[in-house]
Copies of this chain bind each other. A is one copy, B any other.
Amino acid sequence: MQNPILNPPQKQHQHGDYSLSEVSLANRNSGTLLETLQHDITPIGAHYLLNHFDVPYVSNASDWQVTICGQVDQPLSRSLEEIIRHATQNSLARTHRVTLECAGNGRATLEPRWPSQPWQVEAVGTSDWFGMPLKYLLQETQLASSAKEVVFYGADKGVDAGTIHHFARSLSLADAMHDDVMLVWQMNDQALLPQHGFPLRLIVPGWYGMASVKWLNKIEVIDHAFTGHQQTGTYVYRKDRGDNGTPVTSIRVKSLLVPPGIPDWSSRKRLVKPGIVPLVGRAWSGNGVPIVKVEWYRDSEGSDDQWHIATLEPSKSKYAWSKWTANWHSTPGKHILSCRATDACGNTQPLTPAWDIAGFGNNAVQQVEVWCEAF
């Protein structure tokens, strides 16, 4: 078969299957550049971004207030300045290295496809988040014994499915009081970027990104289950429209490889020379469960292969991805490369996506088309 990278068909004006509104979302919501998986920490600005509404314009962080209300003895308001002072004076500030992934990552590869951000595999990133465990702020109030959930509101506002709302998500009281759930004001030793929640956000390690509410300005303690649109109208696993669904929570085990060799500009297919090709990638799971195995696979037309064990560097941080490496002895022709992670609970990645109507939680193995040829 002729290598289509070096022998491309004449360019044609384009037709396809994706809608203009999906393309609009993809132009706004950027994915991690897969080659930056080489870095332990995703470079600033290359971390994936999924914002439902507009990024709020905040000219002065010192004015930023967070209100705690609802099932508390009395509502409390704290400025970001006060929170930072409290954290500093009481030695409560800390850094967590956390891998975040969008719950909709992989949606674009499902058929049929839900109208939303058309992620393929790139909605993942790792940062050092600096702040204070949320529980220390909650402990400044007296929670009522009826307290059941804690709702986090962002300053971002818009419409989804006809419902006007601020982005808001809840956690159970136990989850909200977990040591590792953080109020965060720095990312990689800098103030948060506007698009990543400046000046204050939540980080819920081990969960898909929707839980880590940005531009946090209101915390409401409630005595019932939160039914806001972002809690029950979306971010639920559903087989079909009639399904009430199961909440999307922690990240499913997953791995990616840095596409080897050099890319074709528009198709992103890869070209490598015959010989030893170093492979490198990352693997992660939810809830701080460690990765215990990464395998890789070469699907080459006309020849069988088996899953090969990759070399795994255990993550130094509970919630951050692990690095893996392997060497592939490439031979001329077309190959599809894949990798598969397994975590300490025995969870592993499926070869084909589990069906979900809105494309959530797709952790099927990545497939990278590579053409090997002397050049």
- Interface residues of A, Cβ cutoff 8 Å to B: 5-8, 11-31, 33, 35-36, 38-39, 43-47, 49, 51-55, 57, 108, 112-116, 118-120, 122, 157-162, 164, 193-196, 259, 262-268, 271, 375
Contacts and interface: CB of A to CB of B under 8 A. Distances in A.
Contacts of A31: 27-28
B23 A120 contact: yes
A28 B113 contact: no
A14 B265 contact: no
Nearest to A371: B159
A36 B19 CA distance: 25
A53 B262 contact: yes
Contact of A46 (B13, B53, B195): B195
Contacts of A375: 164
Contact of A51 (B15, B33, B44): B33
5 contacts: A14-B19, A17-B20, A20-B108, A23-B118, A44-B45
Of all A-B residue pairs in the complex, the 7 with the closest CB atoms, nearest first, are A45-B45, A16-B19, A30-B30, A13-B112, A26-B26, A18-B18, A160-B265
A16 B13 contact: no
A375 B162 CA distance: 12
A45 B46 CA distance: 7
Given A28-B33, A45-B46, 15 more contacts: A5-B162, A6-B164, A7-B162, A11-B114, A14-B19, A14-B115, A16-B19, A16-B21, A27-B31, A27-B120, A27-B122, A44-B45, A45-B45, A54-B263, A158-B263
Contacts of A195: 33, 36, 43, 45-46
A55 B12 CA distance: 27
Contact of A18 (B7, B20, B38, B112): B20
Contact of A120 (B24, B51, B108): B24
Nearest to A164: B375
A43 B192 CA distance: 11
Contact of A38 (B12, B15, B23, B57): B57
